[in-house]
Amino acid sequence: MRYQTATQWGVYEVEVIDGEICAVHGIDLDPAPAPMGQLLCDGVQHKLRVQRPAVRKQWLERRDRNLRGRDEFVDVPWDEALDLAAQELKRVIDDFGNTSIFAGSYGWASAGRFHHAQSQLHKFTNLLGGSTRAMNSYSTAAAQVILPHVVAPWHHMELEQTTWDEIAAHAELVVAFGGIALRNTQVAYGGITEHQSTGGLTAASQAGVEFVTVSPTADDAPDWLRADWIAPRPGTDVALMLGIAYELECAGLAHHQFLASHCVGYDRFKAYLRGQSDGVEKSPAWAALICDVPAQTIQTLAHRMAKRRTFVTAAWSLQRADHGEQPYWMLVTLAAMLGQIGLPGCGFGFGYGAEGHVGSSWRRFNWATFSKGRNPTQFAIPVARIADMLLNPGSAVAYNGRDITYPDVQLIYWAGGNPFHHHQDLNRLVEAWRKPATVIVNEPWWTPTAQWADIVFPATTALERNDICASSHDPYAHVMQQAIAPQGQARSDHDIFRGLAEYMGVLDEFAEGRDEAAWLRHMWERSAAQASREGFELPPFDEFWQAQSYRIPETQERATWLGAFRHDPAIHPLNTPSGKIEIFSETIAGFNYADCPGHPVWLEPFERLGGQGSVVYPLHLLSPQPERRLHSQLDHADHSQSGKIRGKEVMTMHPDAAAARGIAKGDVVRVFNQRGACLAGVRFSSAMRADVVSLPTGAWFAPQFDANNASLELNGNPNVLTRDKGTSSLAQGPSSGTCLVEVERWVQD
Ligand SMILES: Nc1nc2c(c(=O)[nH]1)N[C@H]1C(S)=C(S)[C@@H](COP(=O)(O)OP(=O)(O)OC[C@H]3O[C@@H](n4cnc5c(=O)[nH]c(N)nc54)[C@H](O)[C@@H]3O)O[C@H]1N2
Ligand SMILES: Nc1nc2c(c(=O)[nH]1)N[C@H]1C(S)=C(S)[C@@H](COP(=O)(O)OP(=O)(O)OC[C@H]3O[C@@H](n4cnc5c(=O)[nH]c(N)nc54)[C@H](O)[C@@H]3O)O[C@H]1N2
Ligand SMILES: [Mo]
What is the C-alpha to C-alpha distance for residues 371 and 373, in angstroms, rounded to an integer?
6
What is the C-alpha to C-alpha distance for residues 68 and 432, in angstroms, rounded to an integer?
11
**Fold assignment, 2-136+368-470+482-513:** Rossmann fold (3.40.50)
Closest C-alpha to 6, from 466, 369, 460: 466
Residues forming a β-bridge with 5 = 12
- Among the atoms of ligand 1, which is closest to the Cα of residue 447? 44
What is the C-alpha to C-alpha distance for residues 114 and 112, in angstroms, rounded to an integer?
6
- Measuring from atom 4 of ligand 1, which residue has the nearest CA? 422
- Does residue 498's CB lie within 6 angstroms of at least one atom of ligand 2? no
Closest C-alpha to 116, from 340, 490, 368: 368
The dotted CATH code for 619-745 is: 2.40.40.20
- Among the atoms of ligand 2, which is closest to the Cα of residue 138? 14
What is the C-alpha to C-alpha distance for residues 130 and 124, in angstroms, rounded to an integer?
9
Non-local (6+) Cβ contacts of 507 within 8 A are 498, 501
- What's the 416 CA to ligand 1 centre distance in angstroms? 8
Q: Which residues line ligand 1 (CB under 6 A)?
A: 107-110, 115, 117, 138-139, 320, 415-418, 421-422, 442-445, 447, 459, 461, 493, 623, 630-633, 697, 718-719, 722, 736
Pairing outcome for strands 711-713 and 581-582: unpaired
680 with 671: CB under 8 angstroms?
A: yes
Pairing outcome for strands 692-694 and 650-653: antiparallel
- Does residue 214's CB lie within 6 angstroms of at least one atom of ligand 2? yes
Cβ count within 10 A of residue 496: 27
Number of Cα atoms under 13 Å in the Cβ half of residue 72:
4
131 with 155: CB under 8 angstroms?
A: no
What is the C-alpha to C-alpha distance for residues 448 and 35, in angstroms, rounded to an integer?
25
DSSP state of 115: S
112 with 486: CB under 8 angstroms?
A: no
> Which residues place a Cβ less than 5 A from the ion ligand 3?
139
Closest C-alpha to 226, from 198, 199, 206: 206
DSSP state of 216: S
Q: pLDDT per residue over 623-661, tens digit each?
A: 999 999 999 999 999 999 999 999 999 999 999 999 999
Q: Which of 187, 213, 317 to mutate to test the pocket of ligand 2 (most atoms within 8 A of CB)?
A: 317
- What's the 141 CA to ligand 3 centre distance in angstroms? 10
Closest C-alpha to 240, from 215, 263, 221: 215
- Among the atoms of ligand 1, which is closest to the Cα of residue 137? 14
What is the DSSP track for 511-540?
HTT--HHHHHHHHHHHHHHHHHHTT--PPP
- Among the atoms of ligand 1, which is closest to the Cα of residue 106? 20
Provide the angle, in degrees to the nearest 10, between the axes of the packed helices 284-291 and 237-250: 170
- What's the 490 CA to ligand 3 centre distance in angstroms? 27
- Does residue 319's CB lie within 6 angstroms of at least one atom of ligand 2? no
Non-local (6+) Cβ contacts of 216 within 8 A are 231, 232, 233, 234, 620, 622, 688, 689, 692
Q: What is the reported pLDDT for 709?
A: 66
Sign of the alpha-carbon dihedral angle for 300, 301, 306, 307: positive
**Residues noted as catalytic:** 106, 108
Q: How far is CA 737 from the centre of its chain?
A: 13
- Does residue 194's CB lie within 6 angstroms of at least one atom of ligand 2? no
Number of Cα atoms under 13 Å in the Cβ half of residue 660:
11
- Does residue 248's CB lie within 6 angstroms of at least one atom of ligand 2? no
601 with 673: CB under 8 angstroms?
A: no
What is the C-alpha to C-alpha distance for residues 500 and 21, in angstroms, rounded to an integer?
31
Tell me the Ramachandran region of residue 456: left when phi exceeds 0, alpha when psi lies from -120 to 50, beta otherwise.
beta
Q: What is the reported pLDDT for 556?
A: 73
What is the DSSP track for 382-427?
EGGGHHHHHH-TT-EEEETTEEEEPP---EEEEES--HHHHSS-HH
Non-local (6+) Cβ contacts of 142 within 8 A are 319, 320, 324, 325, 328, 727, 728, 730, 731, 733
Q: What is the reported pLDDT for 708?
A: 67
Ligand located closest to 312 CA: 2
- Does residue 216's CB lie within 6 angstroms of at least one atom of ligand 2? yes
**So where are the chain's domains?**
2-136+368-470+482-513, 141-363+560-591, 619-745
Q: 3-state class of 478 per DSSP?
A: strand
What is the C-alpha to C-alpha distance for residues 61 and 84, in angstroms, rounded to an integer?
12
Non-local (6+) Cβ contacts of 707 within 8 A are none
- Measuring from atom 39 of ligand 1, which residue has the nearest CA? 416
Q: What pTM, to 2 d.p., does this model score? A: 0.98
- Among the atoms of ligand 2, which is closest to the Cα of residue 181? 26
What is the C-alpha to C-alpha distance for residues 620 and 322, in angstroms, rounded to an integer?
14
**Fold assignment, 141-363+560-591:** Dimethylsulfoxide Reductase; domain 2 (3.40.228)
What is the C-alpha to C-alpha distance for residues 518 and 525, in angstroms, rounded to an integer?
10
- Enumerate residue ranges in the chain where pLDDT < 50: none
- What's the 355 CA to ligand 2 centre distance in angstroms? 9
